[in-house]
Amino acid sequence: MITIWQDFLSQQGARIADGRVQDFGKSAEELAAAQNGTVMADLSQLGLLAFSGEDTAEFLQSQFTNDVRGLSADGAAWNGYCSPKGRMLSNFLMWKNGADTCLQMSGDIREAVLKRLKMFVLRSKVSARDATDETVRLVLAGPQAAAAISEAGLPIPAGIMKTQANEQGLTVRIGEDKFVLSIAPEKAAAIWTTLAKHATPVGTAVWDWLRLSNGIPMITAATQEEFVPQMVNWEVVGGVSFQKGCYPGQEIVARTQYLGKLKRRMYLAHVSSNEAPIAGDNLYTPDMEGQSSGMVVNAAPAPGGGFDLLAVAQIESVASMQPIHLKAVDGPVLTLKAQPYTLP
C-alpha cells in the first residue's frame, strides 16, 4: 500500500493489516450498509499489472481467455490466464489507460503472473511492469455511487464495462451501480473526502462479500490451477471468448465447452459456522465416499451472521441435493442460495 495513502486511511479510522483495510471500526454496520446503501472500499490489496508497446494486443491475445484485440480504448472486460492444462492461473478485470493495458487481480499472485508472462514476451515489443503502487484504486457500489463520483469530479461511463478518464482519474463501470476508480495518489485524499459524503467507507471483506454475491470469483494463490474457467462460471460472466483463437489451455477449455464434460460448477452458498471458510478449503458430499467433491473459491462474512461463499461443487451432487460439508465429511453443511445469474 502506498505510504501516504495508508497514512490518510489510518487518519480516517481505517484498521490496516498486511496491506488490507480490515474495517473502519464498525464492521457490522459497514456490512449492513452494503446490503442497500452506498459503500466504498480501498483496493490496495489487489495487484495491477500494466503492459505497453506496439505488440501488446497481439501478445496478450495469445495468452488470455478473452478477446484482447477487440478491447476498445474505452472498454473493460473480465479475462483470464490459464496453464497449458486449461487450469486458471489468474483472473482479472482488464482495461486500457492511455498506452497501458491494465490487469487488476488478486495481489498475492501478481508477481508470479508477471514473471510467467515476461517469460513469453521474447522478441515482442512489449513492456510489462507491476503498476500496483502507481495509483490509488477504489470501488464504489450502491444507489448513490454515480452521484458521489460525479461530485468528486470523475466521469461516469455511459455503459457497463466501459471506461472514461479525465484530469481527476479513470472510472471503470463494472455494473449498473458499481465502479472502480483509478486515481493519482496526490489526488486521492480529496476525492475520498468528497465520496465519503455519499458512501460509507468499508473494509475489504465487505467488498469481497458484494463481489462474491454477484457471482464474480477471484483466483488467489490458494486456488491457482484448481479450476478450468467454466468451473468458476467464467464464461457465464463474459470472461472467455470461444472465437478468439489460441491461448494456453484453449483446446481443453473449448473441449469442455462443446463436449459437455464439465462435472463441477460454482455456486453461491451460505454456511453457519464460527470458523471462517477460506479459499482452497475442501468440500465433501456423501456420494463421493470421503473424497473431496469440491472447493471453496472465496468466502466473506455475511450480513446476517455466518459466511457467504462461492463454492465449486459436483453438478450431480447439487442436482441430487446431496448435503455439501465444509472441510470434513461431517463438517458444517452449506445452504445453496439463489444464484446471481442463470447457469447453463
Q: What percent of the chain has pLDDT over 90?
A: 96
Rounded alpha-carbon distances, angstroms, from residue 156 to 161, 192, 277, 305: 11, 16, 36, 34
Are β-strands 292-301 and 335-336 bridged in parallel, bridged antiparallel, or unpaired?
unpaired
On the question of pLDDT at 328 being above 90, the answer is: yes
> Can you give the CATH number for the domain in which 266 is found?
2.40.30.160
pLDDT of amino acid 86: 97
Residue 117 banded pLDDT, cuts 50, 70, 90 = very high
Same domain? For 151 and 18 the reply is: yes
Crossing angle of helices 27-36 and 204-213, in 10° steps, is 30
90 within some domain: no
- The beta-strand segments (E) located in 64-175 are 76-82, 88-97, 100-106, 127-130, 136-141, 162-166, 169-175
Together in a domain, 236 and 270: yes
pLDDT tens digits for 145-188? 999 999 999 999 999 999 999 999 999 999 999 999 999 999 99
Q: Which residue has the cell 469481497?
A: 208
pLDDT of residue 21: 97
Provide the domain limits for residue 198: 3-44+133-213
Q: Does residue 199 share a domain with residue 233?
A: no
User: pLDDT digit string (tens) for 236-294?
Assistant: 999 999 999 999 999 999 999 998 789 999 999 999 998 999 999 999 999 988 899 99
Same domain, 195 and 319: no
Same domain, 167 and 271: no
Say if residue 1's pLDDT is above 90: yes
Last-in-domain residue among 213, 229, 260: 213
Tell me whether residue 58 is in a domain. no
- Same-domain check for residues 9 and 155: yes
What pLDDT, on the 0 to 100 scale, is given for residue 122? 86
Among the candidates 190, 213, 236, a domain finishes at 213
Judge whether 335 and 271 are in contact, CB under 8 Å.
yes
pLDDT score at 94? 98
> Number of structural domains, the chain?
2
**Across the strands, what pairs with 162?**
75, 173
Q: Are 248 and 142 found together in one domain?
A: no
Report residue 116 as a C-alpha cell. 510467467
> Which residue type is seen at 313?
A
In percent, the amount of the chain with pLDDT more than 70 equals 100
Grid coordinates standing for 49?
A: 499489472
Would the pTM of this model clear 0.75, i.e. be above it? yes
> Tens digits of per-residue pLDDT, 212-245?
999 999 999 999 999 999 999 999 999 999 999 9
Q: Which three cell numbers stand for residue 39?
A: 459503500
Cα separation of 155 and 146, whole Å?
A: 9
190 and 298 together in one domain: no
pLDDT digits (tens, 9 = 90+) for 25-73: 999 999 999 999 999 999 999 999 999 999 999 999 999 999 999 999 9
162 and 209 in one domain? yes
